[in-house]
Structure 1
């Protein structure tokens, strides 16, 4: 009767909602779900329906048991003489029929619970796949890739499955109470219930353990685009979340953090302390979107001085790893309790690098890139003892992310081709791989490939971001390719490229076609951040003058490659001129810098 009433209420609600939608304009459509998401939603709905069926079957079993128990106490009195009771045999026969009916119902309930556990295992596998995909997206996001790392959808799914499993746990406990009241030979509850309880406990443990994740990897407030690089004495933050939003409000949930809890047995490995509070009570707001979050902010690290591993005592031979190749971990632990189940949950951050000087930031970020690009084990703190080479296709993708996150425009195939030629000396094959030392340490120009590339990224971020984003900087062009592009263009055509010999330098090269002879190519001494801090590149290009052989000064930069008039290309970026007006009485005339 209750089930029929609920179905009627659902029908009334659907009819009212359909009427309301007809009267109101349609709401903006949400993002389309993937087939995997639809599969999860459907399986969750089927799990809820099957759970309701199991609860109805349990209530029916409860009624049958009450009926049998009453009849048993009323009519079954062994040890007495029933020869004078002609109806006793009928009572015993009816009682046996009630017991058989109860046995059938118990077996049906056990089968339904087994089916529910099978459904939940399959559903948990689906959620684990989605969670693994989220971990990969978060790792790519740490490297600068555009990726959605929102956890709200996963939290809804994990919470829904957790609610179902805890509801099933309560059902199992209620079934166990019935078994304590009435049991018999070959009772299915006697043989099956302990196994079902153990299986359910294992499922809940696995679900809760996998649902405890690091939502925000360790990150300093600046620079925001480079997490997993921390500096001693500088504040940083990190956050973990339990995706199963169920908790016992009478139980105080305590979250703790530990750094390098399982310290690698490596000679010279530095040890650190967390100076600020390393424990926090998890509080939950009323909004379902707030979730169970352990948010640690304003944390600070300090290196331990004891054991000869302190700052200033680390000799060149004391440890096998450089400071920027030493990887550290923070572990979160959470004391969780709900519905009589108590667990200690644990999760860890990705390995991060600890530096003591901003000069080490670039090298540390190179280590973060290399580890997250290549390590199959997210907890491998010994990764740089034997770092593997990076396949060029994978490295090219990660390098493009650096430019995408820094200046909102990644690297084109032409850019990557030039970089590959710089690294490998020829066109790379799919099997081409770059060693770690060649990426971050060795360099014929006195600096490594990564140091050169990171200098360009800093220049883009501070001075050329909009020009790069709008495609006005050609960027990575070899000198051979530069001449090939310009020689077929008219005189005064120029392009902007990054210098290969100066760290963080950008230059202009233009072509001149004399009346006779081959074309001439002119390049300006590269501009660095020191020059661009006082004069923006568009203004340099606008006012650039060439003085040669006492000729009248002229600007040789006329057309941006391939064929765009200089002022048309750079006009929106020119700074406002303040020309001197001679008709007004002024003590001084305005001045402006001009590059010659």
Structure 2
């Protein structure tokens, strides 16, 4: 309700904009009486372009109607009776309006709430500026204020030229009347020949005197009209200059910045936002440009109606051409991609995209809804398109369901086309250069349409290109394709030739991109620390320096990033990093966000850190030798040499291992692990993630349980009372701190770890393979089961 309370304090233009958000599609009374309920709902959690979300939207609609009806029933008294009737009517109205399209209700309310928040924020920024004695505002608010001030200046200038044009029209009409009077006098003088001489002389003298007066006035007024027209032409030239300046600011700065934010969002940057603000500015521009264009055309009509000597025809013709260019630039530039297609695009897989015309509603384009077509084109074809060169082939592939009609959403005032079920059936690749692989080849989806405005007065052919996409045919290519996309999104420069990116960038620039990606995947503010980035620099540059300043001015090439393998490995820097991200995202996100995983630590660093701690202290670090692997390192006594302490490293776990048993449960299984580095008891950190105990025996059967065992560190199991030994003494996991570590497999001869922390992947088996092998062995000697 806080936003609505603040929204009611708005004044002037802001209040008018807020009121304009409401109407028959969503009455302002509903917003007022259900303010708290409306602001407490998760409107942003509904994916508007996903038809599967319609059920969620329907529940929100039904709940809204129910709340309205409940509110209506609680109204009492004479005034309450009228309000009860009104709220009941609104409940029925909303139900009938949105029952078949509940997603439109969500779209409507989201637009209203976001717009109110923007208006309140802008008003707050202005108030803060005034309250601080005119101190500098933040750059964003200051820029927005400048834009709004320029719009007010343009509005006043347009109103002034409108008034001048009306005066010109009035004066010209009076001039034509006087001109007709002069012609009438001329006709009267011509008719005097038939009169007697005495009468003719008297009448002629009077008419000639009157004609001389009218002609003198016409001469003066013609000069005045000509000056009036020239002055009005100069005013229009000034207005056009202001319009150009404002349009350049909005299209070449604000819109370009929005597109840049959209591109960085592909790497995990913050959501682009602000598109509704941009649309409101573009609509104001369209309105002002159209008004000025109509004024110029009316001025042309007046000039044709009363031709006068002078340069007016040429001036007006140039003004008309200039303002047509301005509106053409506005329309073609505001045909944008609101929701980009996926940048890693797999063939035969459904994908979606949304295009939007920011000025569509203002220019009434929806009165004859245009159709949008999507085609995929190569990098070379994209270059040709931007040079307005014709391409020999229309596309480089075939997209199914690639035509869509633009729809007008009255609640939000947006004109957009939602492609929901596109699929890339096939792709035609070009000849690759040198070491370039298929996952480095870039394509783009071209959206194009044609429509007219002003009763077919102006016809526009608009087109826009998506962000670069990399086409893959198998999931195994996703990793390398993502690298191409990340590099392009991070380092592409505005206005580049498609799709040129630098071959080398400064290491801090790449760090920023990697940190953005990592934080986005973790859904957390905890990104990569300076120590983490130093570790990554050591890996990327095969360096041993721990000083971050040593890497500040170093550059890393694309080849070092994802073309050349790391020394002694069969994978690249990016493939290793992306493996870490995938592992964390799928299985270890909460542990990273809890600060339980150090991760970016090498073996030597882990050894130095642990040897200074008590036995049983452990840490989690990413494997150097395996993609998407994480290992446990701990300090313990050397069982073969009394008094010697060693750091042990467990064979790395991968996604396959964690699909069998979680990290927390594996750590719980290992009783020799006591403290998470530096000194946190492990149960304090991981107990909340332990799997709850299994249920007791059902129908005479007990459930077997998988436990992790490290033979060298397994505590012998005591003999249970009552005769024969069993490994299924209880189905539930041991309680926290239970010294008994029950396991279903015998001690393994395979060495899973060594004292130096080294291992050979070819000579060992991962946990999943070990489980599979054990489950194929005769199990009679490992547990006894009860029979029904």
TM interval, shorter chain, is 0.7 to 0.9
Is 1:271–1:304's contact at 8 Å kept on the other side of the alignment? Answer: no
Counterpart in the other structure of 1:178: 302
Alignment of 1:369-448 (within 5 A): 369-376=486-493, 380=497, 383=500, 388-408=503-523, 409-424=526-541, 425=543, 426=545, 427=547, 428-441=550-563, 442-443=565-566, 444-448=568-572
- How big is the shift at 1:321? 3.4
Relative to structure 1, is the Cα distance of residues 491 and 254 closer, same or farther in structure 2, using a 3 angstrom cutoff? same
- Residue segments in structure 1 that go unaligned for 5+ positions in a row: 1-9, 220-227, 545-554
Counterpart in the other structure of 1:561: 677
- Alpha-carbon distance in structure 2 between the residues aligned to 1:351 and 1:263: 13
Match of 1:113 among 225, 231, 236: 236
Relative to structure 1, is the Cα distance of residues 594 and 586 closer, same or farther in structure 2, using a 3 angstrom cutoff? farther
The DSSP-based 3-state class of the residue aligned with 1:502 is coil
Relative to structure 1, is the Cα distance of residues 357 and 41 closer, same or farther in structure 2, using a 3 angstrom cutoff? same
Q: Deviations over 1:414-434 (max 9, x none)?
A: 111100011111454333122
Counterpart in the other structure of 1:548: none
- How big is the shift at 1:239? 2.1
Deviates more, 1:566-575 or 1:509-518: 509-518
Alignment of 1:38-437 (within 5 A): 38-75=145-182, 83-84=205-206, 85-128=208-251, 129-186=253-310, 189-219=312-342, 228-245=343-360, 246-260=363-377, 263=381, 272-287=396-411, 289-303=412-426, 321-339=436-454, 340-376=457-493, 380=497, 383=500, 388-408=503-523, 409-424=526-541, 425=543, 426=545, 427=547, 428-437=550-559
Relative to structure 1, is the Cα distance of residues 318 and 56 closer, same or farther in structure 2, using a 3 angstrom cutoff? closer
Is 1:327–1:381's contact at 8 Å kept on the other side of the alignment? Answer: no
Counterpart in the other structure of 2:709: 595
Task: State which structure, 1 or 2, has the greater radius of gyration over its C-alpha atoms.
Answer: 2
Relative to structure 1, is the Cα distance of residues 433 and 62 closer, same or farther in structure 2, using a 3 angstrom cutoff? same
The DSSP-based 3-state class of the residue aligned with 1:260 is strand
Divergent runs of 4+, >6 A: 23-28, 317-320, 513-518
The DSSP-based 3-state class of the residue aligned with 2:651 is coil
Relative to structure 1, is the Cα distance of residues 381 and 111 closer, same or farther in structure 2, using a 3 angstrom cutoff? closer
- How big is the shift at 1:382? 6.5
The DSSP-based 3-state class of the residue aligned with 1:34 is helix
Counterpart in the other structure of 1:37: 144
- Alpha-carbon distance in structure 2 between the residues aligned to 1:140 and 1:585: 57
Is 1:525 the equivalent of 2:682?
Answer: no
Is 2:366–2:408's contact at 8 Å kept on the other side of the alignment? Answer: no
Q: Deviations over 1:368-412 (max 9, x none)?
A: 11222233377755758xx60232111111111221121124211
Counterpart in the other structure of 1:225: none
Match of 1:537 among 652, 660, 663: 663
C-alpha root-mean-square deviation of aligned residues, in Å? 3.4
Alignment of 1:441-456 (within 5 A): 441=563, 442-443=565-566, 444-456=568-580
The DSSP-based 3-state class of the residue aligned with 2:464 is strand
- TM-score with structure 2 length normalisation? 0.64
Deviates more, 1:23-32 or 1:131-140: 23-32
Deviates more, 1:133-142 or 1:269-278: 269-278
Relative to structure 1, is the Cα distance of residues 591 and 359 closer, same or farther in structure 2, using a 3 angstrom cutoff? closer
Relative to structure 1, is the Cα distance of residues 411 and 572 closer, same or farther in structure 2, using a 3 angstrom cutoff? same
Counterpart in the other structure of 1:222: none
Is 1:580–1:590's contact at 8 Å kept on the other side of the alignment? Answer: no
Relative to structure 1, is the Cα distance of residues 54 and 518 closer, same or farther in structure 2, using a 3 angstrom cutoff? farther
Relative to structure 1, is the Cα distance of residues 320 and 265 closer, same or farther in structure 2, using a 3 angstrom cutoff? farther
Match of 1:491 among 615, 618, 621: 615
Is 1:512–1:521's contact at 8 Å kept on the other side of the alignment? Answer: yes
- Alpha-carbon distance in structure 1 between the residues aligned to 2:256 and 2:273: 12
Q: Deviations over 1:342-389 (max 9, x none)?
A: 1211111112111111111111111111222233377755758xx602
Alignment of 1:480-519 (within 5 A): 480-512=604-636, 519=645
Is 2:341–2:352's contact at 8 Å kept on the other side of the alignment? Answer: yes
Is 1:350–1:378's contact at 8 Å kept on the other side of the alignment? Answer: no
- How big is the shift at 1:51? 0.9
- Alpha-carbon distance in structure 1 between the residues aligned to 2:583 and 2:500: 31
Relative to structure 1, is the Cα distance of residues 541 and 117 closer, same or farther in structure 2, using a 3 angstrom cutoff? same
- TM-score with structure 1 length normalisation? 0.83
Deviates more, 1:150-159 or 1:510-519: 510-519
Relative to structure 1, is the Cα distance of residues 559 and 249 closer, same or farther in structure 2, using a 3 angstrom cutoff? closer
Aligned residues: 546
- Alpha-carbon distance in structure 2 between the residues aligned to 1:589 and 1:211: 63
Match of 2:689 among 556, 570, 573: 573
Counterpart in the other structure of 2:753: none
The DSSP-based 3-state class of the residue aligned with 2:408 is coil
- Alpha-carbon distance in structure 2 between the residues aligned to 1:177 and 1:320: 64
Higher RCO structure, 1 or 2 (CA under 8 Å, sep 6+): 1
The DSSP-based 3-state class of the residue aligned with 2:409 is coil
- Alpha-carbon distance in structure 1 between the residues aligned to 2:701 and 2:212: 128
Relative to structure 1, is the Cα distance of residues 578 and 259 closer, same or farther in structure 2, using a 3 angstrom cutoff? closer
The DSSP-based 3-state class of the residue aligned with 1:345 is strand
- Alpha-carbon distance in structure 2 between the residues aligned to 1:131 and 1:471: 39
- Alpha-carbon distance in structure 2 between the residues aligned to 1:538 and 1:44: 59
The DSSP-based 3-state class of the residue aligned with 1:595 is coil
Relative to structure 1, is the Cα distance of residues 69 and 595 closer, same or farther in structure 2, using a 3 angstrom cutoff? farther
Q: Deviations over 1:171-205 (max 9, x none)?
A: 1111111111112122x532421111111111111
- Alpha-carbon distance in structure 1 between the residues aligned to 2:643 and 2:505: 46
- Alpha-carbon distance in structure 2 between the residues aligned to 1:64 and 1:510: 96
